[in-house]
Amino acid sequence: MNSHQKQISKGAESSSWVGLQVEDCAIQSALGEGAFSWVYLGSTEDGSKAVFKVAKPAGSVGKFSSDITQYFPTRALVQMTGSYGDARIDASDLLIKQAERLKSSPHKNLLQLENVINKGALCYYRCEYLEGKTLRHLIQAGEATPATLLNLARAMEDIARESNFGAHGDLKPDNIMVNQDGIKLIDPGYFGEVLDLDGGRGNALVTTPAYYPNLIADDIFAFGVIAWEIYVGQHPLTDDFSTAQRAADDMIAPELLTMVRAKEFTGNYFVSKLLQLRNPSEINSKISPTLGHLLLKLLRLKINEKNRLALDDGFESFAGVVLALSTIESGFY
């Protein structure tokens, strides 16, 4: 370990790498941070850029030292008696597992890694620098379009062919980069993997419940939440759930109520917010019945013949999602 790495391994502030030389790169700035890592921009003498994602030490996991807004932060969850709670995981373990998944599938729509270092207190990976903006930025700026969503669906359809990668597991606008070359996905989540927990080993899932409320690796559902953000203009599941906000029972099909109550019995109350959903056409008058049906179907829901919110089989694959989005006329938006 060189002298720079000794300095880095002791640093616990988000700016600890700025100004240091790491490998052949001078670290120029901190690009951002998540619950489990910091991200830095470096450049070589010839002007090439690289990004370094660094695992946080135990004392910094879950804490944010920057003023970057975390709209829906990724969480590590563990099932406890009657509820799900935040798991205290080893960020280095998570980063290495994340790196292994990305390196196993060098797909054009996935972040490309160049190097992975794991030396105890110092754990990071070096990856390509991506031009462009996150989908979150585009949504906030009003620049995310149905074409953007269709391109994302096509990218997901293509990635699904990568048997080594599997589901992304943390598909959300913050983890989607959009540039002139298309879509790039970063920071996959984990479901059911063994991660280091306080006091030993255990099972923890790492994802964003606002996009995966069923706490299963359902990328199509997460895609559906993103579709609501783009088409409807709001996240469908962010309001604090309460009995007063929930639709009347006679507006919800019995099988949906049964499913939600069964999930609640296992401690999953993230899924309860499904009972607040309404027909998208009632929220945004620009949404046609056809598009409204599609947006509900992406969340594996529908309005049944009794005008009740009900369960739906949804789409089996992103191939079906691409076909459905492709047939929606531009006038429906």
Q: Does a structural domain hold residue 248? A: yes
How crowded is residue 304: how many other Cβ atoms within 10 Å of its Cβ?
14
Query: Any idea what the CATH number is for the domain that residue 246 is in?
Result: 1.10.510.10
Q: What letters, b where the CB count within 10 A reaches 16 and e where it falls short, cover 221-235?
A: bbbbbbbbbbbbeeb
Q: Does a structural domain hold residue 104? A: no
The pTM of this model reads 0.90
Q: Residue 329 has what pLDDT?
A: 56
Q: Does a structural domain hold residue 166? A: yes
Q: In terms of residue numbers, what domain contains 316? A: 132-191+208-332
Q: Which residues contact 250 (CB under 8 A, 6 or more apart)?
A: 308
Q: Which of 49, 69, 89 is the last residue of a domain?
A: 69
Q: Residue 193 has what pLDDT?
A: 65
In contact, 243 and 234? CB cutoff 8 Å: no
- CA 226 to chain centroid: 10
| Alpha helices (runs of H) in the chain, residue ranges in sequence order | 3-10, 91-104, 135-140, 146-159, 219-231, 254-265, 280-283, 289-298, 318-327
C-alpha distances in Å from residue 38, one per residue of 111, 148, 176: 16, 28, 17
Query: How many Å apart are CA 296 and CA 309, to the nearest integer?
Result: 9
Query: How many Å apart are CA 160 and CA 158, to the nearest integer?
Result: 5
Q: Residue 117 has what pLDDT?
A: 92
Q: Residue 242 has what pLDDT?
A: 44
pLDDT tens per residue, the chain (333 residues)? 444 444 454 444 455 788 888 899 999 998 888 889 999 999 999 989 999 999 988 888 877 765 555 568 899 998 887 788 888 888 998 999 999 999 988 899 999 999 999 987 789 999 999 999 999 999 999 999 999 999 999 999 999 988 888 899 999 999 999 998 899 999 999 987 677 776 666 778 999 999 999 999 999 999 999 999 999 998 999 764 444 455 566 789 999 999 999 999 999 999 999 998 988 988 888 899 999 999 999 999 999 999 999 999 999 999 999 999 998 854 444
Q: Residue 249 has what pLDDT?
A: 66
Three-class secondary structure of residue 5 per DSSP: helix
Q: Does a structural domain hold residue 238? A: yes
**Domain match, 176 and 280 both:** yes
Q: Does a structural domain hold residue 92? A: no
**Domain match, 220 and 312 both:** yes
Q: Residue 188 has what pLDDT?
A: 94
- CA 11 to chain centroid: 28
HSE-CB for 185 with a 13 A CA cutoff: 31
**Domain match, 41 and 167 both:** no
Q: Does a structural domain hold residue 18? A: yes
Tally of structural domains, the chain: 2
Q: Residue 67 has what pLDDT?
A: 55
Q: Residue 129 has what pLDDT?
A: 94
Handedness of CA 300, 301, 304, 306 (dihedral sign): positive
Nearest alpha-carbon partner for 134 in 34, 247, 24? 34
Token pair, residue 172, equals 């959300």
Q: Residue 139 has what pLDDT?
A: 95
DSSP state at residue 51: E
**Domain match, 57 and 144 both:** no
HSE-CB for 32 with a 13 A CA cutoff: 9
**Domain match, 213 and 314 both:** yes
Q: Does a structural domain hold residue 115? A: no
**Domain match, 167 and 305 both:** yes
Q: Which of 69, 93, 108 is the last residue of a domain?
A: 69
Q: Which of 69, 87, 113 is the last residue of a domain?
A: 69
In contact, 128 and 108? CB cutoff 8 Å: no
Q: Residue 259 has what pLDDT?
A: 96
**Domain match, 225 and 324 both:** yes
Q: Does a structural domain hold residue 119? A: no
